[in-house]
Amino acid sequence: MAALGSSRLLPYHQISAGNPRRKSRGGRRVGVPMCHPVRCSMQVDLERSPEVAANPAEAPPRDPLAAAGVLGLDAVAEAELREKGFMGLRKTKLVCTVGPACCSPGQLERLAAAGMNVARLNMCHNSREWHGRVMRAVKALNVEKGFCVSLMIDTEGSQTHVVDHGGDSSVKAECDSGAPYYAWLITVLGLGRYEGIQIGDELVVEGGMASFEVVEKLGNDLRCRCTDPGLLLPRAKLSFWRAGKLVESNLGSPTLSTKDWADIDFGIAEGVDFIAMSFVKDANDIKQLKSYLSTRSAESIRVLAKIECLESLENLREIVEASDGIMVARGDLGVQVPLEQIPTIQEKVTDICRQLNKPVIVASQLLESMIEYPTPTRAEVADVSEAVRQLADALMLSGESAVGTYAEKALSVLRSTSWRMEMWGREDHQDHHLLQPQLAISLPDRIAEQICNCSVEMANKLGADAIFVYTKHGQMASLLSRNRPNPPIFAFTDDASTRKALNLHWGVIPLEATLSTDMERNIRETIHLMTRRGMVKPGDVVLVVSDLIPVSTAPSMFQSIQVI
Ligand SMILES: Nc1ncnc2c1ncn2[C@@H]1O[C@H](COP(=O)(O)OP(=O)(O)OP(=O)(O)O)[C@@H](O)[C@H]1O
Ligand SMILES: CC(=O)C(=O)O
Ligand SMILES: [K+]
Ligand SMILES: [Mg+2]
């Protein structure tokens, strides 16, 4: 087992080896008595080619990390680690929608410092020029202030049906029996997407904010009679119902409009990390975008499917399989399905995402009242806590950050609520290993999955302080995260896009580092740098895994779990 040669920094003790037939081959086994610090390792050795057995010391000397002396750790995670220690690190990730209320460099910096992991730009609103300015400001903060905020664009899509009632603010809709039946003239944007709205159809505002009956069609204007009083907000989301059933918009229309494609090109040019696709209907929508991204050499952009229409619920599993992550977009979802169904849909979607190992964002109205008020309602805090209890990867602010008066405060409520719930969950589920069905099919993938499952079980049972994973595309980092371990997962990668993508994964702290094909060296040097920065101390127990495949051994594979 040459790849685990003795370390100059730490004495080690090897407790078990993978393939017993190979026990006598290559490498040194130093049977030191148990002493501290201790390195234990468990190895899986798959089809090792003879050259693996060569002494790594004979490889050309490389010292990339020491030479670079850098460890790309996000300044916020570092500060949190210093303040609260490994176990105090927040696991749930936070997404903020950037709008006019939080778009200046100063405001963005405060959100980044308060824990924003991903900045979302909703292409429904504002100009590309405006979005470009925000993106460049975020990137500048990352470079200048050491943040690691990822960028997401969210396509406009066939925005269901926004309403224009001509006013700037909300209008109270009342059903005065004395008023003429044509009391309301409502301009519906996107009405053309419907096969045909009929006289007598019910028009429901924002999933029940107010209801009307259509009495006359005048182009894009509908003359309506108010049947259920309430508020009519500018640009409110609408749905139409006939005989108690949702009237679905034109099924044949593409999910991505011409404008969406132009926005996607813009996102590629600006180097975004995620594209969230609105109103996804089936897996083909996602496949189409992913294949376009690969023709543009932009396959590193992760594609998220937004679950916000009836059709996406019918094709949920195939959509999750095809995408790189999911957003439970409760805003539009609540317009298309009865509100009382949203909680169970959210739980189902988060469960499927865990099973299929895709990150999931719970979005919309988490702290809606904070758009206007400086404290959340108790019910909002309970809603946030429930999403954290369901172990969603990320929570998202929409209007609360985009147009709200208390963006930073809302973010701090998400932060403190998720942290509290995570701590409670750990105390409550000590040693509880959350079993997930087997995901992988091929042997190498099954091995990676089992290593991650076992690592998490070991880390929890040993009370390890942290899990370190060395990863190219984030595969093992996400498999570790899927098991929702007690200790944080530090994911070292030399791929900038992997680092940004891992920002959305529960419990993963992505770090950029120059990695060599020599795992011993990677471990030694990253630990050395972390120690020098005061982030790792003598006595800390760290469990180490890797999905890096040394070039010299390709196509064979060598994987191990070590406890340092
Ligand atoms: N870039 C922006 N510029 C101006 N206003 C914005 C911007 N982004 C968001 N907003 C405002 O914040 C509100 C909430 O944002 P959110 O992203 O939830 O939009 P939305 O219109 O509900 O669409 P979606 O269904 O895509 O989320 C929007 O209705 C809009 O008023
Ligand atoms: C986020 C979003 O698009 C929604 O909730 O509808
Ligand atoms: K959108
Ligand atoms: Mg939506």
Q: For ligand 1, atom 22, name the residue with the nearest CA.
A: 331
What are the residue boundaries of the structural domains of the chain, listed by start? 2-77+433-563, 99-158+254-428, 162-246
Mean per-residue pLDDT for 336-354?
96
pLDDT, tens digit, for every residue of 97-140? 999 999 999 999 999 999 999 999 999 999 999 999 999 999 99
Mean per-residue pLDDT for 256-271?
96
Q: For ligand 1, atom 12, name the residue with the nearest CA.
A: 399
Mean per-residue pLDDT for 139-144?
96
Q: For ligand 1, atom 8, name the residue with the nearest CA.
A: 99
Please provide residue 226's backbone torsions phi and psi, each rounded to the nearest 5 degrees: -75, 125
pLDDT, tens digit, for every residue of 453-490? 999 999 999 999 999 999 999 999 999 999 999 999 99
What percent of the chain shows pLDDT beyond 90?
57
Topology (CATH level 3) of domain 99-158+254-428: TIM Barrel (3.20.20)
∠ CA 205-211-215, rounded to 5°: 115
Q: For ligand 1, atom 18, name the residue with the nearest CA.
A: 398
Mean per-residue pLDDT for 352-364?
97
pLDDT, tens digit, for every residue of 309-330? 999 999 999 999 999 999 999 9
pLDDT, tens digit, for every residue of 205-249? 888 889 999 988 888 788 888 899 888 887 788 889 998 888 877
Per-residue pLDDT at 179: 61
| 161 and 189 Cβ atoms separated by less than 8 Å | yes
Q: Which of 111, 120, 124 to probe ligand 1 with, by most ligand atoms within 8 A of CB? A: 124
The finding on whether 364 has its CB within 6 A of some atom of ligand 2 is: yes
The finding on whether 308 has its CB within 6 A of some atom of ligand 2 is: yes
Topology (CATH level 3) of domain 162-246: M1 Pyruvate Kinase; Domain 3 (2.40.33)
H/E run at residue 448: helix 443-462
Q: Which atom of ligand 2 is nearest to the CA of 278?
A: 3
Q: Which atom of ligand 2 is nearest to the CA of 329?
A: 5
| 207 and 239 Cβ atoms separated by less than 8 Å | yes
The ipTM estimated for the assembled molecules is: 0.99
| 422 and 91 Cβ atoms separated by less than 8 Å | yes
Ligand index nearest the alpha carbon of residue 125 = 1
Q: For ligand 2, atom 1, name the residue with the nearest CA.
A: 329
CATH tag for 2-77+433-563 (out of 1.20.200.10, 3.40.1380.20, 3.10.450.50, 3.40.50.300): 3.40.1380.20
Mean per-residue pLDDT for 65-74?
61
User: With 50 as the cut, is the pLDDT of residue 14 above it?
Assistant: no
Q: Which of 111, 398, 400, 405 to probe ligand 1 with, by most ligand atoms within 8 A of CB? A: 398
